[in-house]
Every structure is written in C-alpha cells, then in structure tokens.
Amino acid sequence: MEWALLGLLILALPVMAIVAFFKTIGQSDQLRKIDLRLREIEKRLGIEIPSAAVAAPRPPRQPRAAA
C-alpha cells in the first residue's frame, strides 16, 4: 500500500508541473489582452505614460587602497 502511494506521489509531481506550465501560458495571454485594452483606453483619454526609464550607467568604482 505504501509503495502505491509513493508511486502516485512520484507521478503527481510531473503532472503538477505540466498543469502549472499551461496555467502560466494562459495567464500570460490574459495579461497581454489586459495590456492591449489599457493602451487603447490610454489613447482614447489622451494619457501618455512613459515607458520604463533606462537607468543611467554608474561610474566605475575606484579600487580601494591596500592598508
């Protein structure tokens, strides 16, 4: 009986991974649709939201003096 439960548990892990994969794909598609709808609303209202700003490059670090 314990071996059967262990076998089912081992088989359940890849099944859960596959289900999670396809759910993620579905959510990605839903997010894309929501993003498109939001962009259409922004265009209709004349709102211009800037894209994510690119951070300015940092100056190189000066090496520490050996003590």
30 falls within a domain: yes
| pLDDT in the model for residue 45 | 87
| pLDDT in the model for residue 14 | 92
Distances (CA, A) of 22 to 14, 26, 36, 50: 13, 6, 22, 32
* Counted domains in the chain: 1
| pLDDT in the model for residue 20 | 94
12 falls within a domain: yes
| pLDDT in the model for residue 18 | 95
Residues of the chain with pLDDT under 50: none
61 falls within a domain: no
Domain that holds residue 15: 1-47
